[in-house]
Structure 1
């Protein structure tokens, strides 16, 4: 059985195959029959479109046709002919059907009807066979490819930073521990604490929350690098925006200042979104219609003013508005929205951490374009961000998008050894354990910058899905690690 001689369904929509005898393989989406003919809608995952198979019961074994139920996997040999029906220009007249895998017609959970996303999460091992999730994961692939293409074409080097690490880049402490110790009877020190000297790495280790710190080390020798890999956060949160395992894109660039960093991030976002628009047209048109249907079920004041495709075009065609955190606080504080207490979190004082509702107001109501916020108070940002001359703010930036709020966070990094060590001491980050990080400031320090983009947040924005669990194949959340 020469599987590699099959034709993909996508090719039948892009190449003229009329009159040719071909082999198709795929899964049955629907079948309708009468005594004279059976019509099978087949899908092989290469496109959101199904392809129509026409089977004559007088020429194809009746028992075979009975097994061609929804979910069954078929190998079909036949001739491509002009279609008599609407919706596609050609169809396949079957001369031979082979059932590669049966699907119990009564037990198969993906019957041809609308299923809730909650139900599909429970059968995540099958949900990629649906139109929605097929579209989402083809778009996800295109975005991942675009990420690598963008940085490769700009001369960046792809660095694989460690998944197991002894550092917590953000200092938040919400990490998954890595150990080979017997949890029922761990070795203890005299004070009753666990003796990690007897562990595999002879020290306390965890799954990484970010590749940034190691990325900075690489940039100090290679100039411009990026990481793109899994990261982990043990935050006990069950919101539609949180995952315990997610993918991060983190470029780090030597000889970049804060403005260079902003320019790169804006250009990068426009490039990858435009790549999806150009290469995932069918999937995005389907997801646009799906998102429009979802909007009708929301309350009037919660509906988006733009459709999915409009939002994507909105980002790639608009120059991002740049302003400081201080300017943003002034706008928010003086807004009618704030004065009438329409914000859940009323903006009163400089120094507060902005919430998603504030970020979306700036993007969707005030500027009506994507926003880059800069120069945040140092008290609400990480230790590694470069301190500005005012002594109060750091050279940070967040990029805000419609419907989602923050999508990118970054900064110029603090390259001055004295300033960095002082800040680490203020934030109780042990400098002796970070000697390797401080060495890059001791030996040949240079201004440098970088940013982080949560890949799932990008996929969420581009696909218009409402829950981050629906843009990663097998979501890891509190209480859920199946499949």
Structure 2
């Protein structure tokens, strides 16, 4: 007999005489009531055991975390807050769980404790909900682009190019570290390495994605990226996933249109598919807020924040206008900002971005036309010679969530920018070829997937929205 998912049973239109269900025990009370969950939903189903006719040694093995298989009938529940329960006729223990050692006991655990037990934390309600939301968001990303006719491209994980020019990359080598081959000048001889050159784990699939956009028109990448930044903040991971569309013939305005439509689509899709999980996460967030000082509490609940993004058009504001607003703002004048805005050219911080969204415009904001010297080499230079066709999308509670630009399609301008920044033309000869052969206006953006999951779930630490976080000093599991 095939077993039925708990979610299907809870959504059943009628009672059932014969059901077979498998899952894990969340709680077992009064030697009679099992709260069973199989991961298909945030909600448990109550299973009523006939304890008088169940062997005592079997009852002792029904402990939190144990895997069980139950047969019985689905009946209307006599208890409050639940539509159905299972009257158990037979019970089989599939896998025992030692109640003395099982870490995920039915009590409140700190997030730090759960990160130390990342292999088991998904068995809690919170992390089960987060990972279901992450899964649905991931599917929504693919569905959006596939519906729009984009081609999914798998760009390399191992690369010789540094897309961001930041240099904070993980090196990939097969050379013996205790006996590195050297050139006559004493440098490491990468010609003897596996790939015959210096290689790293990618920080972005954008540059390779651009080459495909210039043949296929519109493409997207969605894969793992890596940054060897020694940062222990709640916003940084060493391994994370990036969504990066690239579209030929799109200018910056088209790029902003695409990004706004895309992000509203995936959030709406997830809200429709994960209503129970998001309701639970909203309740969790409200409880967490109670322990904070009044001044630090969010002005919006989780669902209000998500609807804030769906129900408001994104306000488009130039960087220059934003700087004027921030310079003249009360928190800047009263030095309430940690980073005071004094002049044009400042690199905006999260506190500035959130002020623009939450206090000034009261809607999501797209900033554009940033100073060239704080943005990447591949962004198109404006006619003023000092700004580039860059854009960032700013959200409440999180600040920047999307970064993108119209790309510099002019060969001579791109080469000159690379020279100024000391970027080796020979290393990126293939990238420059796209400007030599059939160049055209094109644009794209990057969205850190974990940043999106963080926003949608209401979590505050990015380590809690990826299955196994990789951070400085931590590559456990």
Determine if the alignment matches structure 1 residue 8 to structure 2 residue 5.
yes
Determine if the alignment matches structure 1 residue 478 to structure 2 residue 472.
yes
Query: In the alignment, what sits opposite 1:32?
Result: 29
Paired residue for 2:260, among 263, 266, 273?
A: 266
Distance in 2, matches of 1:340 and 1:53, equals 60
Distance in 2, matches of 1:408 and 1:154, equals 19
Determine if the alignment matches structure 1 residue 117 to structure 2 residue 114.
no
Query: In the alignment, what sits opposite 1:238?
Result: 232
Query: In the alignment, what sits opposite 2:61?
Result: 67
Query: In the alignment, what sits opposite 2:166?
Result: 172
SS at match of 1:451: strand
Determine if the alignment matches structure 1 residue 257 to structure 2 residue 248.
no
Distance in 2, matches of 1:308 and 1:81, equals 34
Query: In the alignment, what sits opposite 2:447?
Result: 453
- State the TM-score, normalized to the length of structure 2: 0.99
Q: How many angstroms does 1:357 deviate by?
A: 0.4
Distance in 1, matches of 2:355 and 2:75, equals 54
Distance in 2, matches of 1:367 and 1:175, equals 37
Distance in 1, matches of 2:468 and 2:457, equals 17
Preserved contact between residue 3 and residue 21 of structure 2 (Cα < 8 Å): yes
Query: In the alignment, what sits opposite 1:321?
Result: 315
Distance in 2, matches of 1:25 and 1:407, equals 39
Q: How many angstroms does 1:59 deviate by?
A: 2.3
Q: How many angstroms does 1:16 deviate by?
A: 2.6
Query: In the alignment, what sits opposite 1:281?
Result: 275
Q: Which deviates further from its counterpart, 154-163 or 78-87?
A: 78-87
How many correspondences in the alignment?
477
Query: In the alignment, what sits opposite 2:428?
Result: 434
Distance in 2, matches of 1:363 and 1:107, equals 47
Deviations 1:163-193 (A, max 9, x none): 0000010010000000111001111111221
Preserved contact between residue 261 and residue 451 of structure 1 (Cα < 8 Å): yes
Preserved contact between residue 406 and residue 442 of structure 2 (Cα < 8 Å): yes
Q: How many angstroms does 1:13 deviate by?
A: 1.7
Query: In the alignment, what sits opposite 2:92?
Result: 98
Preserved contact between residue 10 and residue 45 of structure 2 (Cα < 8 Å): no
Q: How many angstroms does 1:79 deviate by?
A: 1.1
Deviations 1:385-438 (A, max 9, x none): 000011110000000000000000000000000110001111110111111000
Superposed CA RMSD in Å reads: 0.8
Distance in 1, matches of 2:167 and 2:159, equals 13
Determine if the alignment matches structure 1 residue 58 to structure 2 residue 52.
yes
Determine if the alignment matches structure 1 residue 185 to structure 2 residue 167.
no
Determine if the alignment matches structure 1 residue 423 to structure 2 residue 420.
no
Distance in 1, matches of 2:392 and 2:83, equals 48
SS at match of 2:52: coil
Q: How many angstroms does 1:17 deviate by?
A: 4.8
List aligned pairs for 1:137-216, cutoff 5 A: 137-216=131-210
Query: In the alignment, what sits opposite 1:393?
Result: 387
Deviations 1:292-323 (A, max 9, x none): 11112222222211111000000011000101
Deviations 1:271-305 (A, max 9, x none): 00111111100000000011111112222222211
- State the TM-score, normalized to the length of structure 1: 0.98
Preserved contact between residue 60 and residue 95 of structure 1 (Cα < 8 Å): no
Distance in 2, matches of 1:157 and 1:108, equals 45
